[in-house]
Amino acid sequence: MRGAAAGALGALLAACSSAAPAAPTTAATGTSAPSTAQPSVPPPGAAPPPPPAPVVPPGLTAEAMTSGVPPDLSAIPAADLRVLVVTGDVIPARLVNLALRRLGDYGRPFRAVAPLLAQGDLRLVDLEAPLIAACPVVTTGFTFCGDARVADGMAAAGVSVASLANNHATNHGADGIAQTEALLDAHGIAWTLPGHIAVREVRGVRFAVLGVNLVGAHFDEPAVRAEIARAHTAADVVVVEYHWGREYETFPMAAAGIAPDDPKVVGRATIDDGADLVIGNHPHCVQGAELHHGHLIAYAHGNLLFDQHWSTGTQESVIGRYVFAGTRLVAVQYLPVRIGGDVEPRPLDPSAGEGRAILDRMLRSMRELAGVSAPRMNGPGIDDACP
């Protein structure tokens, strides 16, 4: 077969050669005379040729992102690299608040993962509860708050930016938000809400973070597009963090009457509107990521801190390391984490056991996003959360 193929190829090349003789040379210069051949034009009504397939950097393939192995960045000068570390939902409320009060240790939730956070130049969390001085101790319900001293633990772990754009940050009204903003300011932690962009500079590259809540709210694309444009006037890299989608699922989808917009539609539109990276949270499960026009959308990181101990999947998360060379995302590494005793997220071995299972589930979600396999959509429920 190889010989036949080679012969066919040789015949094709010969035919092309005889059909297109070499252009004559001029006596004076020895150079080829200008060709009179016309460029080929597809016949009327013919479909245009498909665009070339995008080149995916090795560090941004689904397999590389979920391998648990640090990306090989040896070809890039270390001075050009900047790392954004992103966690899942941080909810120091209900049973977490009770446990921390009993322990008297408000740094406990961040101590074991602090070395992972320290791998980043910027460290972004989704703070899904106001931090207030008189947070009542409750064990049920959906009115959340955390003790103000949680901000001490966040600062000690090096948190740089907190998104307050979610459906629980306002649970204690305007005063709760004001107390939280003041606490974060006092601890040197930037925060973001619609209309308030967090900007941090890392060795000459400015990063802007916009927070947008789509739980109980609709996607206002013109408003988001305008915020992205405004952020680009103040920063070199614009990150949009969304609170979105149906809970307890590993595949991103809308939740009728709760989170009405499809995260996939929103995320892709946000990239088209100028965002450099889109980050998602809220489903309380780890979900996949995808590239859209060369830019990454990470749909959900799971729960870094919450009291949803009724399901294994809702006690799991990933911490994402987003590596930029200058202003270009070149690699991502996801690291698995499991909450222990309601209050202590702990890193897992990414190569075995539960850690490997989390990353495999994330890889499966990525393949579902790519259309390789049909999505699993079994939740919500106690036994099938994070299917």
**Is the pLDDT higher at 66 or at 42?**
66
Task: Give the pairing type, strands 190-192 and 198-202.
Answer: unpaired
Q: Of the ranges 16-20, 61-65, 343-347, which one carries the lowest mean pLDDT score?
A: 16-20
Q: What is the pLDDT of residue 228?
A: 98
Q: What is the pLDDT of residue 290?
A: 98
CATH 3.40.190.10 fits 66-369, yes or no: no
Q: Are 152 and 107 in contact (CB under 8 A)?
A: yes
Residue 240 C-beta-side C-alpha neighbours within 13 Å: 36
pLDDT bracket for residue 163 (50, 70, 90): very high
Phi, psi of 113 (to 5 degrees): -95, 0
Q: How far apart are the first and last CA of the chain?
A: 47
Structure tokens at 242: 């969304």
Q: Output the DSSP codes for 352-370.
A: SHHHHHHHHHHHHHHHHHT
Structure tokens at 138: 């409750």
pLDDT bracket for residue 342 (50, 70, 90): confident
Residue 266 reports pLDDT greater than 80: yes
Q: What is the pLDDT of residue 16?
A: 37
CA distance linking residue 386 with residue 318, whole number of Å: 13
Q: What is the pLDDT of residue 383?
A: 56
> Each residue of 3-46: pLDDT tens digit?
333 333 333 333 333 334 344 333 334 444 444 555 566 677 77
Mean pLDDT of 356-383: 88
CA distance linking residue 125 with residue 123, whole number of Å: 7
Mean of the per-residue pLDDT values of the chain: 89
Mean pLDDT of 274-287: 98
> Each residue of 238-249: pLDDT tens digit?
999 999 999 999
Q: Of the ranges 41-50, 117-126, 138-147, which one carries the lowest mean pLDDT score?
A: 41-50
